[in-house]
Structure 1
Amino acid sequence: MTREWKTKMKFSEIEENSWPELQPYLDTCLLPLSGMTGEEAPWEATNKIASAGRWLAPLEQAFRGRTVTMPAYHYGGNDEDRPERMKRLIASMKGVGFRYVVVVSGQTMTKDELLGADLFVGPVAEGEEPEAHKISKSLADLWRKPVAATE
């Protein structure tokens, strides 16, 4: 792996012609979700986005060069179509070549919303704060799992 690859992290840093070469190394998509409904006042939107960022930062710092942070998905808060949209979005990320999709949010989420995701990083209960070592360990543990024979 070249030094240039080790600095790749954000979706905007990956050029079309370099993706096939980088894809085996950048196999994990970090998909930030803010959980906004569109009814937030500016300071509430800021808090939701910052909360997602606090859960995302430990992964970006610890696994630079193995993960790609995709654009944040901001709207679609608590409506009834959210689980289906999330499933389609996760499937799409896998469809473009990511082996693992990690959903990262500062909001709690239901299991129905995470179908297809390989890992959820975020609070289990309201008000829970991120712990960097636990977050990093959860992703490292995912990568250590044996690969299913069908893959």
Structure 2
Amino acid sequence: MKFSEVDGASWQELQPYFDTCLIPYTGLTGGENPMEATAALERLRDFLDLAEIPFKGRIITYPAFQYGLQEDLSLLNEICKQIKSTGFRHVIVMSADCGLPESDLPEVDLILALPEFKGLEGKELGAMIQAKIQTLWKSEQSVKL
């Protein structure tokens, strides 16, 4: 579910069911021409579908973090920290074009970067993305036990 689809009047009632926030990371540099920027956004949209569609009732997708040279991810990390302070238990960052180092994003619970899934596509890729998200949720449950 996209953040813009949430009705303000029903958020209080829905919030307990949405414990995971998804942040798309485009990684544009500003050096892309319009066709390259469009292609990057389309790749990201298609990659996000692998998480958004199967987990529509539990994940809310926030606005994309569009620009970043991947040299300093402190702003993205701070945004993730702030999102958690609003009540989200998990933050997932997804990127179709960029690998993101976990060491630079300690507030992120799961990084899903398409370049890390070389050789996978279609149903296999979708199953792997879903499995990684479910593992994140299951690992939290085992900590609570």
Scaled by the length of structure 1, the TM-score of the pair is 0.82
TM alignment of 1:106-125, pairs within 5 A: 106=96, 107-125=98-116
**Distance 1:142-1:91 versus aligned 2 partners, 3 A rule:** same
* 8 Å CA contact 1:123, 1:129 repeated in 2: no
Amino acid at match of 2:69: G
* Alignment correspondent of 2:137: 143
Q: How far apart are residue 127 of structure 1 and its match?
A: 6.3
- Alpha-carbon distance in structure 1 between the residues aligned to 2:105 and 2:44: 16
**Higher alpha-carbon deviation: 102-111 or 118-127:** 118-127
Corresponding position of 1:5: none
Matched, 1:25 2:17: yes
Q: Which moved more, 1:100-109 or 1:113-122?
A: 113-122
Q: Residues 23 and 94 of structure 2 are in contact (CA less than 8 Å); yes or no, is this contact kept in structure 1?
A: yes
- What letter matches 2:52 in structure 1? E
TM-superposition CA deviations, 1:93-135 (whole Å, max 9, x none): 1112111100011121122332211101113449665510000
Question: In structure 2, what residue type is equivalent to 1:123?
Answer: L
Distance 1:51 1:43, change over 3 A: same
Question: 1:113 and 1:47 mapped to 2: Cα distance?
Answer: 27
Deviates more, 1:39-48 or 1:118-127: 118-127
Could you state the TM-score of these two structures normalised by the residue count of structure 2? 0.85
Give the alignment's Cα RMSD to 1 decimal.
2.0
Partner of 1:56: 48
- For these two proteins, the number of residue pairs brought into alignment is 139
Aligned AA (1:98): F
Q: Provide runs of 4+ in structure 1 moved above 3 Å.
A: 124-130, 146-149
SS of the equivalent of 1:102 reads strand
CA contact (8 A) 1:34 1:49 kept: yes
Structure 1 residues 129, 85: CA separation in 2 closer, same or farther (over 3 Å shift)? farther
Which residue is equivalent to 2:64? 72
How many angstroms apart in 2 are the aligned matches of 1:114 and 1:51? 22
Matched, 1:105 2:95: yes
Residue 37 (structure 2) pairs with residue 45 (structure 1): yes
